[in-house]
């Protein structure tokens, strides 16, 4: 019948579809027969999607089907085209709409219709098709009337009695001023400006605002005060015993129980805000530019803390971290007013430190204690810490990652801790010089000495020819000595070059000594288009050549690179010098392999087959 004829000759009967689990290998799907097309008994597989599209056009011409841009289908049969609009219903029920610009073996590229100058951005093709199959994405033809509209859920009326009750006592910022909500009914809120201590004698400014407007403003302020929830929770889990302060805009903010403890120490007000991802929670903050002052106040009140600010990867970088126990370290010995004290205890509630006088600790009697303010004791702690000699490091050898084939550089340093300065030793009293000898006495002594030595058969040259004792005692030229660990033991070398050579030899020996068997754990091994597989093969070949040249055993990281070698099955284009889009790859491969290796690799394109990692 007519419907069956339309189905058989529909432009979308045949579509381009990824072969499941074969990493970018495409085929031609027949919607009527519900299977991939084949040539005889061999299912068609294409490493280059353009070849699949060209083959599909040939099928359409043979069947008399009008040529049109190809359709693409997902594993569950959802159809999409280049030019289709895609929409995604987000968590906040706002539709994000885009247009498909390009589809290749690995990615789907899309643009935003309302940003015509924008470069297309990509999404992994397998992920994109999974979103279509699960209806996280919707695809529609370009006509505006077919775009899936956002579905808005009905929000609760803000003027409910519960909402009004929650509003009481809140603070809201309007026109740059902070107001307190004194009272409210279901329609109107009565506000008074929050006065500073210097303005407490004046009547505060009053104003009225619609309850809905005040609730909206407070909700907006909650969003403005929200941190990156997942990154904040990760910090919270990593430092459960410390107050967590994160930068939001130009504020350093604390939340929940941390906010309640920090507000008292920082002398800041405590707000209650509906923070997205946290719900109704306490919030307090400090000017981020003054975080050092805030850190000192927290420590003076016995609070350990971590301060962090956002980074480019939607996480947080810690900029300061301190432990209150180290601020006033129990047991530390200090010298105050010429007497020696040991820090015995700290009472952060009263801001006092108990000091035990140990000046005369060896004498009998009761110990003497002294109480001082935390800030006073801290000044002596800082002074003593500054007087402690700091270790000095000096680099003696450096091995870049390119040389060691490790994912990091290696630097060998010497560590020197300066000795504390001592008073110079008192000079030894000089020995009295012998009385001066007359020329006649010296001549007689010289002649007697020569005669005595001649009798013993000794030859004594003239004093003018003799080598001075100073020259005999002069030490040889100083040679720098470098000590480094070799095979777990420290060894000395006469120069940095010798130490480098020994360290590299030890590194090569260790690579063989510590070699481990490699086990494949990545189920996605071998996934990717033809160009991606070629790059993985070449990376493995280059690495293997370097390892063989240097005589090194592959590290676990390098074994991971070697494991991505997938052979040359399906990559025959890389050996075809007449393929324009493979000319760079052909030149690289031809130059890298020896003639014998190249011939063997080229021959393997006919008999190499894909094997999944699970096999």
- Each residue's pLDDT tens digit, 29-80: 998 888 899 887 788 998 889 889 988 888 888 888 888 889 999 988 889 8
Residue 36 counted as domain residue: yes
Min mean pLDDT across 132-141, 301-310, 338-347, 411-420 is at 411-420
- Phi, psi (rounded to 5 degrees) for 394: -140, 120
User: For residue 104, what is the domain's CATH number?
Assistant: 2.30.30
Chosen domain end from 96, 120, 146: 146
Residue 311 counted as domain residue: yes
Residue 20 counted as domain residue: yes
Q: pLDDT band at 185, cuts 50/70/90?
A: confident
Q: What tens digit of pLDDT does each residue of 302-354 get?
A: 889 999 999 888 889 999 998 888 888 888 888 887 788 888 888 877 778 88
Q: Do 334 and 278 share a structural domain?
A: no
Better-scored residue on pLDDT, 478 or 102 = 102
Q: Do 539 and 580 share a structural domain?
A: yes
Work out the number of other CB atoms within 10 angstroms of the CB of residue 601. 20
Give the tokens for residue 4: 């069956």
Task: Tell me the pTM.
Answer: 0.34
Q: Do 379 and 332 share a structural domain?
A: yes
Q: Do 314 and 235 share a structural domain?
A: yes
Domain that holds residue 354: 328-387
Q: Do 83 and 44 share a structural domain?
A: no
- Rounded to the nearest integer, the mean pLDDT of the chain is 75
Residue 151 counted as domain residue: no
Residue 196 counted as domain residue: yes
Q: What tens digit of pLDDT does each residue of 188-207 get?
A: 888 888 765 445 556 778 88
- 428 pLDDT higher than 70: no
**Averaged pLDDT for residues 582-587:** 86
Chosen domain end from 325, 346, 363: 325
Total count of domains within the chain: 6
Cα end-to-end distance, the chain, whole Å: 48
Chosen domain end from 48, 73, 98: 73
Q: Do 321 and 239 share a structural domain?
A: yes
Give, in order, the Cα–Cα distances in Å from 47 to each of 22, 75, 472, 611: 10, 18, 82, 15
Q: Do 344 and 276 share a structural domain?
A: no
Q: Do 235 and 268 share a structural domain?
A: yes
Residue 431 counted as domain residue: no
Q: pLDDT band at 150, cuts 50/70/90?
A: very low
Nearest to 342 by CA among 351, 352, 354, 350: 354
pLDDT of res. 532: 87
Q: Do 54 and 34 share a structural domain?
A: yes
Residue 60 counted as domain residue: yes
Residues in CB range of 419: below 8 A, 6 or more apart: 389
Rounded to whole angstroms, the Cα distance separating 593 from 239 reads: 53
Q: Do 321 and 333 share a structural domain?
A: no
Q: Do 237 and 283 share a structural domain?
A: yes
Residue 352 counted as domain residue: yes
Q: Do 207 and 187 share a structural domain?
A: yes
User: For residue 289, what is the domain's CATH number?
Assistant: 3.40.1170.10
Nearest to 537 by CA among 563, 559, 557: 563
């Amino acid at each position: 019948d007519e419907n069956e004829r339309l189905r058989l000759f529909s432009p979308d009967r045949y579509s381009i579809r990824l072969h499941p689990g074969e990493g970018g290998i495409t085929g031609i799907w027949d919607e009527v027969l519900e299977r991939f097309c084949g040539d005889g008994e061999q299912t068609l597989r294409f490493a280059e999607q353009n070849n699949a599209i060209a083959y599909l056009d040939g099928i359409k011409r043979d069947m008399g089907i009008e040529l049109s841009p190809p359709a693409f289908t997902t594993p569950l049969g959802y159809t999409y085209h280049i030019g289709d609009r895609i929409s995604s219903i987000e968590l906040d029920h706002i539709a994000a709409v885009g247009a498909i610009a390009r589809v290749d073996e690995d990615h789907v590229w899309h643009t935003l219709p309302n940003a015509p100058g924008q470069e297309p951005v990509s999404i992994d093709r397998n992920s994109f098709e999974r979103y279509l199959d699960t209806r996280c994405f919707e695809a529609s033809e370009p006509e505006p009337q077919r775009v899936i509209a956002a579905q808005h859920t009905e929000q609760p009326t803000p003027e409910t009695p519960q909402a009004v009750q929650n509003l009481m006592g809140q603070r809201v910022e309007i026109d740059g001023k902070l107001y307190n909500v004194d009272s409210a009914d279901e329609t109107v809120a009565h506000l008074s400006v929050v006065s500073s201590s210097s303005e407490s004698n004046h009547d505060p400014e009053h104003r009225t605002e619609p309850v809905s407007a005040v609730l909206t403003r407070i909700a907006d302020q909650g969003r403005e005060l929200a941190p990156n929830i997942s990154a904040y929770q990760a910090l919270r889990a990593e430092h459960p015993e410390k107050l967590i302060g994160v930068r939001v805009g130009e504020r350093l903010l604390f939340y929940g129980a941390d906010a309640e403890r920090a507000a008292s120490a920082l002398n800041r007000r405590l707000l209650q805000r509906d923070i997205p991802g946290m719900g109704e929670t306490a919030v307090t903050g400090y000017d981020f530019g003054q975080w050092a002052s805030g850190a000192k106040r927290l420590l003076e009140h016995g609070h350990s803390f971590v301060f962090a600010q956002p980074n480019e990867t939607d996480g947080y970088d810690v900029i300061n971290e301190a432990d209150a126990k180290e601020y006033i370290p129990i047991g530390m010995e200090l010298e105050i007013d010429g007497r020696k004290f040991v820090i015995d205890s700290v009472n952060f509630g009263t801001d006092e430190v108990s000091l035990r006088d140990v000046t005369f600790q060896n004498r009998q009697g009761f110990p003497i204690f002294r109480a001082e303010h935390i800030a006073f004791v801290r000044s002596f702690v800082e002074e003593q810490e500054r007087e402690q000699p700091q270790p000095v490091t000096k680099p003696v050898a450096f091995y870049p990652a390119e040389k060691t084939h490790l994912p990091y550089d290696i630097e060998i340093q010497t560590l020197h801790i300066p000795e504390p300065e001592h008073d110079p030793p008192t000079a030894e009293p000089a020995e009295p010089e012998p009385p001066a000898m007359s020329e006649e006495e010296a001549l007689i002594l010289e002649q007697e000495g020569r005669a005595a030595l001649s009798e013993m058969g000794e030859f004594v040259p003239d004093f003018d020819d003799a080598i001075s004792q100073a020259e005999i005692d002069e030490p040889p030229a100083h040679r720098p000595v470098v000590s480094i660990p070799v095979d777990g033991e420290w060894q000395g070398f006469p120069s940095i070059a010798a130490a480098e050579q020994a360290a590299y030899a030890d590194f090569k020996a260790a690579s063989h000594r510590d070699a481990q068997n490699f086990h494949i754990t990545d189920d996605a091994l071998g996934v990717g288009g033809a160009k991606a597989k070629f790059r993985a093969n070449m990376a493995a070949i280059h690495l293997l050549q370097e390892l063989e040249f240097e005589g090194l055993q592959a590290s676990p990281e390098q074994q991971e690179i070697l494991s991505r070698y997938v052979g040359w099955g399906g990559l025959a284009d890389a050996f075809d010098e007449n393929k324009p889009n493979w000319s760079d790859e052909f030149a690289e491969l031809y130059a890298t392999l020896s003639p014998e290796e190249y011939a063997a690799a080229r021959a393997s394109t006919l008999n190499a087959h894909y094997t999944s990692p699970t096999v």
